[in-house]
């Protein structure tokens, strides 16, 4: 008799779940989905890890779980186009080691569901990176291969042209399409164009974009304007665009380098790549004033940036937001724009059928200080805060317990009942 009641109860529960069309419903939020030109109050329903419906007033009764997100912004999961997450190798100085960090502790809490590791590994180490980090992370980790076969060692390899192998790089990229989404040229300290040219060669062979960190500044031998107007292809990406290290801002005149505008005209994309040394307020302020916003906002997350001015993706986005860029635009620069740049148009939007990678963001007002990579402070009035993050429909971050239940309403599992889970096997 008792077991019959249990069976009936179970059947009812199963039926209830089967009858609700949606697993989770984000109710009452304001959706910003630039790819779909959407900037309005909408409910978002998720089923089986995918976006099932985006509409005004989806009834709460149609979802197994309803999360009240009124007063908050609902956006696609952010895409951080510039990170270093090839951690754990034990290599002491390199970004293919100690200078990298594991992604999950920095991404989800900041609304980020996809990161692109740009050049920490080259083709030689990519499969180790894949096994060690990409395959073990909740965050979607994509990669741009360093044109340096040995990757970002922070050693002489990065400046040794015999390490640049476009064919091997393109071959590895073609083996993992969609995961390897670009080629990186970085840190090159010699006055020739070899690093850039070889990266572009690899990018052309594999039909993927190139991202350039322009290394040492050689205003005569390889000027920025030549890179942007002659060397890079449309669709290639110039990162650290507000670094001020390579004549992005011409200090004598206070003008943004005309080559930047010319490059943009050709279709070259400009990425923030904040990092530990690559974001200056004087450059960013001048750029925004002179009509040069970035195409993509990214962190250049690594051990040297995480505890300094950069801090987190959501604060990096807040910085650009405080330069009088509309919220819709900064979300675009951290979702659909970077997705398009890496040709992963399946990401960065909330279209029905798309993977349910979602960020829920609070837009606070107050007085906030934002340090740049030199410790110079900009005082702003707006701060974005990551409240809730979903990855493939699962709640992977919930700052204030929006998706939780009041503790008194949770059925108590009392002491002494059962042996409990074995903690060591968690």
| Of residues 204 and 304, the one with the C-beta less far from other proteins | 304
HSE-CB at 330 with a 13 A cutoff on CA atoms is: 23
Q: What is the largest CA-CA distance in the chain?
A: 89
Selected range binding other proteins among 45-53, 105-113, 258-266, 270-278, rule: CB under 8 A: 105-113
What b/e string do you get for 402-419 counting C-beta neighbours within 10 Å, with b at 16 or more? Answer: ebeeeeeeeeeeeeeeee
Identify the bridge partners of residue 90 per DSSP, sorted by sequence position.
none
Q: What minimum distance in Å lies between the beta carbon of 111 and other proteins?
A: 12
As beta bridge partners, residue 397 has: 389
- 306, 323, 329, 343: which one binds other proteins (CB under 8 A): 306
Q: Are 114 and 347 in contact, with CB atoms under 8 Å apart? A: yes
Asked if 363 is part of the footprint of other proteins (rule: CB under 8 A), the reply reads no
Least distance to other proteins, CB of residue 414, Å: 8
Short-list 37, 71, 79, CA closest to 316: 79
Q: Which of the stretches 194-202, 205-213, 335-343, 401-409 binds other proteins when contact is defined by CB under 8 A? A: 401-409
List b or e across 375-398, with b for residues whose CB sees 16 or more CB atoms inside 10 angstroms: eeebebebbbbbbbbbbbbebbbb
Query: Should residue 90 be labelled a site residue for other proteins when binding is judged by CB under 8 A?
Result: yes
Query: How far apart are CB 1 and other proteins at their closest, in Å?
Result: 28
* Length, in residues, of the chain: 426
Q: Where are the beta strands (DSSP E) in 255-357?
A: 255-256, 269-270
User: DSSP labels for 121-173?
Assistant: EETTTHHHHHHHTGGG-SSEEEEEEESBTT-S-SSGGGG-GGGB-HHHHHHHH
Instruction: Please choose, out of 4-12, 98-106, 166-174, 211-219, the segment that lies near other proteins by the rule CB under 8 A.
Output: 98-106
Does residue 179 touch other proteins according to CB under 8 A?
A: no
Task: Identify which range of 100-108, 171-179, 189-197, 201-209 contacts other proteins by CB under 8 A.
Answer: 100-108
Q: Give strand pairing partners of 368.
A: 380
Q: What x-and-dash track marks residues 370-389 binding other proteins by CB under 8 A?
A: xxx-xxxxxx----------
CB of 286 to other proteins, least distance (A): 7
Find the shortest distance in angstroms from Cβ 188 to other proteins. 24
In 3D space, the residue among 317, 307, 262, 306 whose CA is nearest the CA of residue 284 turns out to be: 317
Binding to other proteins in span 201-240, by CB under 8 A: none
Q: Does residue 71 interact with other proteins by CB under 8 A? A: no
Residue 413 makes contact with other proteins by CB under 8 A: yes
User: Three-state DSSP class for 85?
Assistant: coil
Q: Nearest-CA neighbor of 137 among 106, 168, 158, 111?
A: 106
Based on the shown chain and the rule CB under 8 A, indicate whether residue 401 belongs to the binding site for other proteins. yes
Binding range to other proteins, per CB under 8 A, among 26-34, 49-57, 155-163, 414-422 = 414-422
Total residues at interface with other proteins (CB under 8 A): 67
Q: Could you say which of 176, 218, 328, 368 contacts other proteins (CB under 8 A)?
A: 368
Q: Is 287 in the site for other proteins (CB under 8 A)?
A: no
Q: Please report, as residue ranges, which positions from 15 to 54 form the binding site for other proteins (by CB under 8 A).
A: none
- Return residues touching other proteins (CB under 8 A): 87-90, 92, 98, 101-102, 104-106, 108-109, 132, 136, 249, 251, 254, 280-282, 285-286, 303, 306-307, 309, 311, 368-372, 374-379, 396-410, 412-413, 415-417, 419-426
């Amino acid at each position: 008799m008792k077991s019959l009641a249990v069976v009936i109860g179970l059947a009812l529960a199963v039926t209830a779940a089967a009858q609700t069309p949606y697993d989770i419903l984000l109710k009452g939020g304001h959706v910003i989905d630039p790819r779909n030109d959407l900037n309005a109050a909408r409910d978002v329903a998720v089923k089986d890890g995918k976006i099932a419906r985006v509409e005004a007033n989806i009834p709460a009764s149609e979802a197994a779980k309803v999360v009240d997100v009124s007063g908050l912004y609902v956006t696609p999961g952010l895409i951080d186009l510039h990170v270093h997450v090839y951690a754990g190798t034990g290599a002491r100085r390199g970004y293919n080691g100690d200078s990298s960090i594991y992604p999950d502790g920095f991404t989800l809490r900041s609304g980020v569901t996809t990161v692109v590791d740009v050049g920490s590994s080259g083709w030689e180490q990519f499969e180790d990176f894949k096994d060690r980090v990409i395959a073990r992370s909740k965050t979607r980790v994509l990669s741009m291969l360093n044109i340096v076969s040995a990757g970002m060692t922070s050693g002489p390899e990065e400046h040794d042209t015999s390490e640049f192998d476009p064919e091997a790089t393109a071959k590895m990229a073609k083996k993992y399409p969609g995961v390897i989404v670009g080629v990186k040229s970085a840190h090159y300290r010699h006055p020739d164009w070899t690093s850039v040219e070889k990266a572009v060669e690899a990018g052309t062979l594999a039909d993927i974009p190139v991202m350039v960190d322009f290394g040492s500044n050689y205003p005569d031998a390889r000027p920025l304007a030549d890179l942007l107007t002659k060397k890079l292809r449309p669709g290639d990406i110039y990162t650290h665009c507000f670094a001020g290290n390579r004549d992005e801002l011409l200090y004598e005149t206070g003008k943004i380098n005309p080559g930047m505008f010319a490059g943009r005209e050709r279709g070259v994309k400009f990425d923030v790549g904040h990092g530990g040394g690559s974001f200056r307020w004087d450059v960013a302020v001048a750029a925004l004033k002179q009509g040069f916003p970035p195409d993509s906002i990214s962190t250049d997350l690594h051990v040297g940036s995480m505890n300094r001015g950069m801090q987190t993706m959501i604060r990096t986005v807040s910085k650009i937001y405080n330069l009088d860029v509309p919220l819709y635009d900064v979300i675009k620069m951290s979702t659909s724009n970077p997705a398009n740049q890496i040709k992963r148009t399946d990401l960065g939007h909330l279209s029905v059928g798309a993977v349910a990678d979602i960020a829920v963001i609070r837009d606070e007002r107050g007085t906030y200080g934002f340090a740049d990579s030199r410790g110079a402070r900009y005082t702003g009035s707006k701060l974005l805060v990551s409240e809730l993050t979903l990855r493939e429909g699962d709640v992977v971050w919930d700052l204030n317990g929006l998706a939780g239940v009041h503790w008194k309403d949770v059925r108590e599992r009392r002491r002494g009942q059962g042996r409990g889970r074995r903690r060591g096997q968690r």
